[in-house]
Amino acid sequence: MSKNSPINLDKRAKRNREISIRVNDYELLELKKRNRGSTVASWLRDIALGVTPVKPVDPELVRQLGRIGSNLNQLTRHVNTERQVDAQVLYEIKAIREQIHLLIESSIQASKKSARENHDS
């Protein structure tokens, strides 16, 4: 680049510069395995520029958490209306805590299994 040519700092500007890196077969396989849903070039560019990769979320987990949130809202409304916490409300809160615990454990186990499968393949 010459001193007289202006540098375009617009993030949306056309990509016309190229960077090459060398990797061995193992590294290439690992890069392809870790990359999810885009080209390796796009994924590496995002990581290098500080974009945090986001794992897709299990839609069923989101639905279950939504139901739990709805139950909590109903319990909160009941407590605010009645101005007291009865045995039934305490039972429901305990059940919700158990549901959340099971969802967290299930999600952790699924993540570990996925990580093992990705590592082994």
Q: Rounded to whole angstroms, how far apart are CA atoms 62 and 11? A: 33
Backbone torsions φ then ψ of 105, nearest 5 degrees: -60, -45
Q: How confident is the model at residue 115 (pLDDT cuts 50, 70, 90)?
A: low
Task: Provide the 10 A C-beta neighbour count for residue 68.
Answer: 16
Q: Rounded to whole angstroms, how far apart are CA atoms 113 and 54? A: 18
For the chain, the domains span 20-56, 59-118
Q: How confident is the model at residue 21 (pLDDT cuts 50, 70, 90)?
A: very high
Q: Which residue has the tokens 């305490």?
A: 90
Kindly provide the b/e burial profile for residues 33-54, where b requires at least 16 CB atoms within 10 angstroms of the residue's own CB.
eebeeeeeeebeeeeeeeeeee
Degrees, nearest 5: CA angle 118-64-82: 150
User: Considering all CA atoms of the chain, what is the largest pairwise distance in Å, rounded to the nearest integer?
Assistant: 78
Interval 27-69: pLDDT, tens = 999 998 888 778 899 889 988 998 887 777 788 888 989 999 9
80 DSSP 8-state letter: H
Higher local confidence (pLDDT), 95 or 108: 95
